[in-house]
Structure formats: C-alpha cells, structure tokens
Amino acid sequence: MANTPGAKKSIRKIARRTEVNKARRSRVRTYLRKFEEAVSSGDAVAAGKAFIEAQSELMRAVGKGVVHKNTGARKVSRLAARLKSLAVA
C-alpha cells in the first residue's frame, strides 16, 4: 500500500485516468461495432459514413494515448479494406 503522500496522489491520478481511458476505449468499440453492423447489412452508403466516424474516433483515441499509433493505423487500414471489398462486391 502507498505510504507517501505522492504515492497516494499517484494512485488517485491513475484511477481517474483509467476511468477516462475506459470510456474512450468503449466509445471506439461502439463506433467499430456500428461499422461492422453497416457492413454486414450490405449498405455501402451507411458503411461509408460509419467508416468515417470510426476512423475519426480511432485517431482521436490514438491522439489521447488510449490506443497505440500503429494499432490505430492497422485497424483503420483493415476497416478501409472491408469497406472497399463491400463496394466491389
């Protein structure tokens, strides 16, 4: 257990940051799920809009440090590939 005041403050800061990051990660997952639903329905227009929102949310999470830069880029790339395959099919 933390003994010093600084260590106790660090615990409080980490707890606050963890809550914020959980909310951000959850928000990203929501937008990814909306994109997956649009793709599975076969609606290219809705999927395109959902892709833009999901990409924006992912990059925001990258900027906030919730998701690593390469992870965000990989996920966006895979979303774009899914969208492209939907448009071709």
Q: 47 lies in a domain?
A: yes
The predicted-structure confidence for 20-38, as pLDDT tens digits, reads as follows 999 999 999 999 999 999 9
Residue 48 within any structural domain of the chain: yes
Is 61 within a domain?
yes
> Can you give the pLDDT at residue 89?
64
What is the number of domains present in the chain? 1
Tokens of 54: 């999901």
pLDDT of residue 10: 95
In a domain, 56, yes or no: yes
**Residue 19 within any structural domain of the chain:** no
Evaluate if residue 86 carries a pLDDT over 90. no
Domain limits for position 54: 42-89
For the segment 49-80, what is each residue's pLDDT rounded down to a tens digit?
A: 999 999 999 999 999 999 999 999 999 999 99
* CA separation for the pair 37, 28 (Å, rounded): 14
Global pTM reads 0.85
**SS3 of 67, please?**
coil
